[in-house]
Structure 1
Amino acid sequence: MGINRRTLLRRSGQLGLGVSLFGSMQGLLSAPVAVAAPTQDVTGYGPLLDDLDGMLALPEGFSYRVVTEAGQTSTYEGDPSPGIHDGAAAFAADDGDVLIVLNHEVRGGPDDDGAVPHAKGLVYRDDAGGGATIIKTTREGELLWETVGIAGTSTNCAGGITPWETWLTCEETEDDNQGWVFEVDPHDLDANQDPQPITTLGRFRHEALCIDPDTLVIYLTEDAEGPNGTVYRWLPPSAFRGRSGELKQLDDTDGELAAMSCTDDDGSLVDDLEQAEQVDTVYTVEWVPVEDRAAENGPLRSAEGITRAQKLEGAWWSDGGAYLVSSYADSHRGQIWFYDPAEFTLRLTTTFATEADGETVEAPDNIVAAPYGGLIVSTDGDGDNHLAGVTADGDAYPLARSQMGSEFTGPTFSPDGTVLFAGIQKPGVLFAITGPWQQDISSAAAATRETRSTR
């Protein structure tokens, strides 16, 4: 039996939350703060130990619990939990629990495996099976309930958090007039009724995005080919204030959408980010305005004079700029770049692959700042897939290995930094990982590592 969404919120202490997490979320949007154990001169947490249950290999002292699992757990309304997990974000509930918005990258229709249930009032298109769910857990990551946040969208890959405490879910497709961004409010479920695309952010194969919390400028990545995708910047109109639901009220001509154009020291256009081979390579960035945001005359990325990359993936705002992932550089080893909006520069901070603790870490995908410093990335490569850390010194280390034959997705920390939520895409499992998190993980063996950074 269904339940009124306002009633669901009232029963769980969520009605009228507003933006209670702004301060703590700002910590992850900008410079992360350490929250756990004393600093130790180590890189990572040691070898990964195989799981007898065949799910996650973790370092000694770490453990996981299953939060949701496709077809095994159920939504509050009684439908089987959807699958094909991807991008996610965690928010603070006003009662101290945790709210998670989780994407489901379903490419087919509502009857496909893993499809998001078509809940009344939350369906954008009747013929699409993707979407996002909203999950509530305890502070320790124990499931309390799951419900639909949006349905009837397609190929919901990644997205990004907003400074006003919502989630922007991205369609990674441009088929059949799809390829939009939608907003999901985890605090006010009624705000998700009658979903509408955010046309001002353009129609293309969206992957991820991040937002400058001071200027509300949005940076978006595109995972596409024929030609390869690019990075976009959206400048908000002067009247934009950043509130839940405000983006979908804008027209597709509001603000400015532009594509990245990089030049090297000689002033030559950088056609593809893959041509950078050395960490600390720096390019100058200009932004080429994009017309026809609905892509009625062809893909936006077909514009002349822009810089592209194969498999642009995760995006995260930290340290006063945007970290951007180029996953397929150097035969799918991958890169992490940092865009500095004050200097209009793009700097290569990290290159993959790396060998650490008997694991080969490569092919970065989703990315998040760790509350104890550095970054956490999920990997989607041709070999073993990992959750991996990247230290402030640029050393990559394995944190978890998938034993389920599918990629990691959507790493996101609980607001207090004690639980790392992450998914395995197929069939779709969301985990809560806990352990002895360290502050300021550094390396005594940086000179021997293949992965480097000068952050």
Structure 2
Amino acid sequence: MLSRSAQGGLGLALSGSLGLLFGGPAAAHGRPAGYGPLIPDPAGILSLPQGFHYSVIAESGVTRLETGEPTPADPDGSAAFPLRRGGTALIVNHEISGSDAPTVPTVPDHTFNPAAGGGTTTIEVDARGRRVREYVSLAGTVNNCAGGRSPWGTWLTCEETEATVAGVQHGWVFEVDPYDQRANRAPKPIKALGRFSHESVAVDPLRGVIYETEDAGTPNGLFYRWTPPRGLRRLGRGVLRTLPDDAGTLEALRALRPDGTFVPDLSPAREVGTRYRTRWVTVPDRFAATTPTRKQAYAEEPTRSRKLEGMWWGDGGCYFVCSFARTADGSAGVHDGQVWFLDPRAQTIELKIHFEYTPDQDGDADGPDNITVSPYGGLVIAEDGEGASHLVGSTASGETFFLARNELAGESEFTGSTFSADRRTLFANVQSPGHVFAITGPFRRQR
């Protein structure tokens, strides 16, 4: 195990091919990791390494939807889908609760609850990453957060709420098609996936199992697994919304140490390589009719974590993030972030990255949130911590580097990092004041 204390007091543990996700460039095979230092942006928007460039393809309140309204506020999770004629359809969640403006405008036949201001927009860009158009693909939802991409090429939103708005319950997942607006008509929540404060989802492409994180407190949230019903031949575009509300099985993670003892809270784990066995306990009432799912009486106690955040499928399993933990919020341990890897074949979760709590919030990465697996090896993590916000990259062998720094006023979090199918463009968002970027440059395999 390495740690930031071993790297000059910087405070991050690492392991395996992911390696260290923070620090100055480290020598690897005769050249430094990453792409060199970040060059301050004269425009005061986004600092990148030499040779990299960005364009703003959407800006909240500034750019316009094809129907004339301004781009909505609070871009969050997103995913890129290739277009047949070249270019990309980028679906963007908007984490709007109703008070932020501009909201997602209601669209006939594409609105779940007209009293709710969140939803998704779809931004189409050409092969050079230039904006072509933007339109509402889902309206009338609340606090769409990290979300997740399905293996069959759709977007799964995640409402991070348990609210009832104008008599309508929220806290669901919706499916959005990036290609066919007709498929997005009459939005229907996928109630089989449960009602709770959803953060993100990741789908096992072989088994059809859907994993879900819950960002909630008092008590801290749970990590869920939805297993398709027996007899369902396959999941595919639009299938989830056709399932009965009680289809399949929704369960919560119960982690066990190798000796079989129960792990009530993930936050005390500090040693990278810590591995727990996974067991699953059935959620008593997935619809949370009277009691939130995390507060219900389980046959066996599930494992909890503070700030369960982004998730992404890759390397035969899913990486998921615990953003931070403090004893004041009910956690048993203190840290500035964890990244775990769930291996469905081994039936384990393993701690891959551990961010020690440190007072340095500008030059020291903290608060990992959205996450994506990079086609160039390792991960790209979006910071949502204190101080300066970065996109942080890793090499396949473990070296690290800062990939971008937000220079906009307010030090708002990065969200929604995702690569285009041709790997040439990294899309990423800054939530406030609300920018969607297309980043290009000399990306290369990091060895």
Q: TM-score range by the shorter chain?
A: 0.7 to 0.9
Instruction: Tell me the distance in 1 between the aligned counterparts of 2:35 and 2:280.
Output: 41
Q: Do residues 268 (structure 1) and 261 (structure 2) align?
A: yes
Tell me which residue corresponds to 2:23: none
Query: What is the DSSP-based 3-state SS (H/G/I as helix, E as strand, rest coil) of the residue aligned with 1:95?
Result: coil
Tell me which residue corresponds to 1:335: 338
1:378 aligned residue (379, 382, 405): 382
Q: Do residues 290 (structure 1) and 283 (structure 2) align?
A: yes
Tell me which residue corresponds to 1:19: none
- Tell me if the contact between 1:325 and 1:335 (Cα under 8 Å) persists in the aligned partners: yes
Report Cα offsets for 1:206-236 as digits up to 9, x if no partner. Answer: 0001111111111111100011111111111
- Tell me if the contact between 1:40 and 1:438 (Cα under 8 Å) persists in the aligned partners: no
> More deviation in 232-241 or 373-382?
232-241
Query: What is the DSSP-based 3-state SS (H/G/I as helix, E as strand, rest coil) of the residue aligned with 1:248?
Result: helix
Tell me which residue corresponds to 2:118: 130
Instruction: Tell me the distance in 2 between the aligned counterparts of 1:294 and 1:377.
Output: 32
Tell me which residue corresponds to 2:237: 244
Q: Which runs of 5+ in 2 are unaligned?
A: 1-16, 19-28, 326-332
> More deviation in 49-58 or 341-350?
49-58
Report Cα offsets for 1:380-414 as digits up to 9, x if no partner. Answer: 00111111113334444211111122110000101
Instruction: Tell me the distance in 1 between the aligned counterparts of 2:394 and 2:295.
Output: 33
After superposition, the Cα gap between the structure-2 partners of 1:254 and 1:97, relative to the gap in structure 1 and judged at 3 Å, is: same
* Equivalent residue letter for 2:319: Y
- Tell me if the contact between 2:263 and 2:303 (Cα under 8 Å) persists in the aligned partners: yes
Q: Do residues 390 (structure 1) and 394 (structure 2) align?
A: yes
Instruction: Tell me the distance in 2 between the aligned counterparts of 1:430 and 1:336.
Output: 25
Cα RMSD (Å): 2.1
1:194 aligned residue (173, 182, 186): 186
Tell me which residue corresponds to 1:350: 353
Q: How many residue pairs were aligned?
A: 403
2:44 aligned residue (48, 54, 58): 54
- Tell me if the contact between 2:377 and 2:394 (Cα under 8 Å) persists in the aligned partners: no
Instruction: Tell me the distance in 2 between the aligned counterparts of 1:393 and 1:307.
Output: 31
- Tell me if the contact between 1:210 and 1:315 (Cα under 8 Å) persists in the aligned partners: yes
Report Cα offsets for 1:61-91 as digits up to 9, x if no partner. Answer: 1110000001111011111111211000000
Report Cα offsets for 1:313-358 as digits up to 9, x if no partner. Answer: 11111111111111114645101101111111110011125999x9
Tell me which residue corresponds to 1:181: 173
* Equivalent residue letter for 1:342: R
- Tell me if the contact between 2:267 and 2:334 (Cα under 8 Å) persists in the aligned partners: no
Query: What is the DSSP-based 3-state SS (H/G/I as helix, E as strand, rest coil) of the residue aligned with 2:93?
Result: strand
Tell me which residue corresponds to 1:17: none
Instruction: Tell me the distance in 2 between the aligned counterparts of 1:41 and 1:116.
Output: 46
1:143 aligned residue (131, 156, 160): 131
- Identity, % of aligned pairs? 47
After superposition, the Cα gap between the structure-2 partners of 1:231 and 1:40, relative to the gap in structure 1 and judged at 3 Å, is: farther
Instruction: Tell me the distance in 1 between the aligned counterparts of 2:308 and 2:395.
Output: 21
Tell me which residue corresponds to 2:106: 118
Report Cα offsets for 1:42-77 as digits up to 9, x if no partner. Answer: 322222121111111111111100000011110111
TM-score by length of 1: 0.85
Tell me which residue corresponds to 1:171: 159
Instruction: Tell me the distance in 2 between the aligned counterparts of 1:341 and 1:301.
Output: 23
Tell me which residue corresponds to 2:14: none
Report Cα offsets for 1:226-265 as digits up to 9, x if no partner. Answer: 1111111111123152222211111221111100000113
Query: What is the DSSP-based 3-state SS (H/G/I as helix, E as strand, rest coil) of the residue aligned with 1:336?
Result: strand
Query: What is the DSSP-based 3-state SS (H/G/I as helix, E as strand, rest coil) of the residue aligned with 1:337?
Result: strand
Q: Do residues 437 (structure 1) and 443 (structure 2) align?
A: yes
Instruction: Tell me the distance in 2 between the aligned counterparts of 1:153 and 1:108.
Output: 9
Q: Do residues 161 (structure 1) and 149 (structure 2) align?
A: yes
- Tell me if the contact between 1:274 and 1:309 (Cα under 8 Å) persists in the aligned partners: yes
1:359 aligned residue (357, 363, 373): 363
Tell me which residue corresponds to 1:278: 271
Q: How does 1:29-68 map to 2 (within 5 A)?
A: 41-68=31-58
* Equivalent residue letter for 2:236: R
Higher helix share: 1
- Tell me if the contact between 1:361 and 1:398 (Cα under 8 Å) persists in the aligned partners: no
Tell me which residue corresponds to 1:11: none
Report Cα offsets for 1:122-169 as digits up to 9, x if no partner. Answer: 110011000000110012211000000100000001111111110001
Q: Which runs of 5+ in 1 are unaligned?
A: 1-30, 33-38, 443-455
- Tell me if the contact between 2:376 and 2:395 (Cα under 8 Å) persists in the aligned partners: no
Q: Do residues 318 (structure 1) and 311 (structure 2) align?
A: no
Give the superposition deviation at 1:361.
1.5
* Equivalent residue letter for 2:47: A
TM-score by length of 2: 0.87
Report Cα offsets for 1:98-119 as digits up to 9, x if no partner. Answer: 100000000116xx41311111
Give the superposition deviation at 1:170.
0.5
Query: What is the DSSP-based 3-state SS (H/G/I as helix, E as strand, rest coil) of the residue aligned with 2:241?
Result: helix
- Tell me if the contact between 1:349 and 1:394 (Cα under 8 Å) persists in the aligned partners: no
* Equivalent residue letter for 1:215: R
Query: What is the DSSP-based 3-state SS (H/G/I as helix, E as strand, rest coil) of the residue aligned with 1:99?
Result: strand
